[in-house]
Amino acid sequence: MGELPALSTAGTVGEKKGEAPKAPPPASRKTLVDWLGVLPFFLFATMFLFIPSFSIFIRSFEKLGGGFTFDNIIALFTKSDIVNAYKTSLTISGVTALLGGVFGFLMAYAIVMGGLPTRIREFTLSFSGVASNFAGVPLAFAFIATMGNAGLITRTIETWFDLDLRQAGFSIYNSLGLSIVYLYFQFPLMILIMAPALAGLRREWREACENLGGSGGTYWRRIAFPILMPTLLGTMVLLFGNAFGAYATAYAFSGSFINLVSILVGAQIQGDVLYNPGLGNALALGMMAIMATAMVIYLYLQRIASRWVR
Amino acid sequence: MSKPIDRREFLKVTGAAGAGAAFLAACGGGAEAPAGPDLSTGAAIPMEELIAAAQAEGTLTTIALPHDWANYGEIIETYKTKYSMEVNELNPDAGSADELEAIRANKDSKGPQAPDVIDVGVGYGPTAKAEGLIAPYKNSSWDTIPLKDAEGYWWGEYYGALVFEVSKPAIENTPVDWEDLLKPEYKGRVAMAGDVLKSNQSVQTVMASGISRVGGVDDTVESAMKAAEAGLQFWKEMNDAGNFIPVIADQGRIAAGETPLVIEWDYLALANRDALAGNPELEIVVPKTGVLAGPYAGGISAYAPHPYAARLWWEFVMGDEGQLLYLKGYAHPIRYNDMASRGVIPAELSEALPPAAAYAGAVFLTVDQLNETKKYITENWRSVVYGE
């Protein structure tokens, strides 16, 4: 997770574009110092983003044992288990990004605008900070212990209602179950990012709207949503990437029994019989392509959404 | 330092990976080759010299040796105290494939993350040898090991058979054979102890169910492949029936009742039974048919940072003392027959195992059969079982 450092830059690049022409060209010495300041970032991005991405690209065309081949790329579109893995990964990421986005937004709204006592508000925000980083092995175990076959909730329901949930076909070890697990960190992340954005909506705007005869609906449709839209979209792309790249959580949850792209990459790189790093790289390249597409769509939408904010 | 020939070439010429490791060490830090007995021949080194050389290294790095697996906890502890060595244990939960990957990934590194010795499913031995990942060493008990590589690259250590480990309060009727596991009463209850794409144990689990279905195999690859196909079909039915829980069972999950019916090596199941001590009560069942013996093989990394400590480890583990420690952990030591004929096995150890009659029909697969079926099962697991 957290493999989207580019997202924050994307946001600032968009904003800077608007400012740049206005600012007078600064003295050349100052520019040099400015560049020095961002140098560590570019070094970091080169070493941990660009070089690895480039290496993934090159090695996607590598045969097992060396040599050039298109087989790995072709396999992405022809091998049914790979196609299915992409479908599953996309579905889980899409669904959890959407649900996390919508309900996280509503929750953030309730916290910021709902007039909750400060203490509850503070508590919810701190909790979100912790929960949004609760992932990997501990998260998987937490869900197994509460909702697994012998989990606390499962067993409680079984005892109260005298049911056998397993006989009824209930299991959290499937993609729906994994989606629930992912939502546990998707939700709070959305709250965490949306809460300050919502708090940034000025009371005066609403009052101005009301003074001009606009209803609550008009305010949201014409003012609040357009202002929030870039943040909303950006965060949903972040949630999507968060779920799409997750490996440790899924693996601790159900081994490689749920067919995800990240799990397949792991099997190609670590497995013995399945060992084919070229295909593993090609799979990762596919993931990068999907993430890049998501980013482009995001940038495009953000451009439309933020047109009048500029 | 100049490199007159490249590394691979050098290894080919000498055929001696131990020397190769020394060469690498020399290239890396300008350090001298390990002073000590010759490693290139793979011949047993006299114990006194070996102990001295190992103690000079001071540490042994192991991988994938869980303490509750075949009594490895006690084996490691005894090795430490007996020879005054340190043991650096890497990822105890690694699968056979992960172990080979650890060697591959650390070819050029002598750090604490590079394993010296490996313990892999016997099918992985030839793979590792073919890739040049392991070095030959014929320890002093070599002649009495019934299962081994002729050139000394890998050797059997111990074996067990796959059994059903049944958590008693959760499962009322104990299954006695593979087909029983498909019954509706076991819905959402059957689990494997590993990941089919990575773990030898799980691949063998598929294989054993198939052997039960086809009624046994002979020593041809064809008959083993039929069993592998039948095995995948068996697990497809298991999954379709909703009986299979796709979660990797371990002692904690068995204790919690998360995975009440697990297929596992007998020594692991028996060790779990002892460790959980009735909470919950575990019943261990050797299935009526499809009793598949799974030997594990030992080897020494060709890039071992501590080549002498590694060889001392195998002298200890493959000697009577180490072999009896396996037996204490309910694993059948590979030199069982030799030790039995010499009368060195204490009666209470052999009596603690399930009755020998249950293992009478146990199937030992050949290395070719293991490799072909492993490949077939891992490559087709998803498409057959999940229809993907």
* A chain contacts of residue B187, beta-carbon cutoff 8 Å: 166-167, 169
Residue B234 contacts A where some CB pair is shorter than 8 Å: no
Task: Please report which confidence band the pLDDT of residue B4 belongs to, taking 50, 70 and 90 as the band edges.
Answer: very low
Instruction: List the domain boundaries for chain A.
Output: 79-305
CA-based nearest distance B23→chain A, Å: 24
pLDDT in tens, B129-140: 999 999 999 999
Among candidate residues B277, B280, B240, B236, the one with its CA nearest the CA of residue B262: B280
User: Mean pLDDT of all residues in chain B?
Assistant: 87
Give me the residue label for tokens 């998260």. A139
Q: Which residues of B280-291 are buried (b: 16+ CB within 10 A; e: fewer)?
A: bebbbbbbebbb
Q: Is the pLDDT of residue A272 over 70?
A: no
The CATH class, in words, for A79-305 is mainly alpha
* Closest by Cβ to B247, choosing from A170, A254, A272: A254
Q: Is the pLDDT of residue A14 over 50?
A: no
Residue A146 contacts B where some CB pair is shorter than 8 Å: no
pTM beyond cutoff 0.90 = no
Whole-angstrom distance, CA of residue B302 vs CA of residue B137: 11
Task: Please report which confidence band the pLDDT of residue A26 belongs to, taking 50, 70 and 90 as the band edges.
Answer: low
Distance between alpha carbon B245 and the CA centroid of its chain, in Å? 24
Check the CA dihedral A77-A83-A89-A90 and report its sign.
Answer: positive
CATH number of B7-156+296-350: 3.40.190.10
The CATH class, in words, for B159-294+357-385 is alpha beta
Asked, as a colleague might, if the bond just before B280 is cis with ω within 30 of 0, I would say: yes
Average pLDDT over residues B320-331: 94
Task: Please report which confidence band the pLDDT of residue B10 belongs to, taking 50, 70 and 90 as the band edges.
Answer: very low
* Closest by Cβ to A272, choosing from B97, B196, B248: B97
Task: Please report which confidence band the pLDDT of residue B111 belongs to, taking 50, 70 and 90 as the band edges.
Answer: confident
Q: A260: which 2 tokens?
A: 């995800």
Check if the beta carbon of residue A243 is closer than 8 Å to that of residue A96: yes
pLDDT in tens, B55-74: 999 999 999 999 988 999 99
* Chain A with chain B: Cβ pairs closer than 8 A: 89
Instruction: List the domain boundaries for chain B.
Output: 7-156+296-350, 159-294+357-385
State how far the alpha carbon of B252 is from the alpha carbons of A82, B255, B256, B264, B271, in Å. Answer: 33, 5, 6, 14, 13
Q: Is the pLDDT of residue B7 over 60?
A: no
What is the predicted ipTM? 0.71
Check if the beta carbon of residue A97 is closer than 8 Å to that of residue A294: no
pLDDT in tens, B271-296: 899 999 988 899 999 999 999 998 99
First to last CA, chain B: 53
pLDDT in tens, A97-138: 999 999 999 999 998 888 788 888 889 889 999 998 888 889
CA-based nearest distance A267→chain B, Å: 7
Q: A71: which 2 tokens?
A: 């087989």
Check if the beta carbon of residue B168 is closer than 8 Å to that of residue B285: no
Q: What is the dihedral of CA B206, B171, A150, A137, to 10 degrees?
A: -30
Q: What DSSP designation does B107 have?
A: T
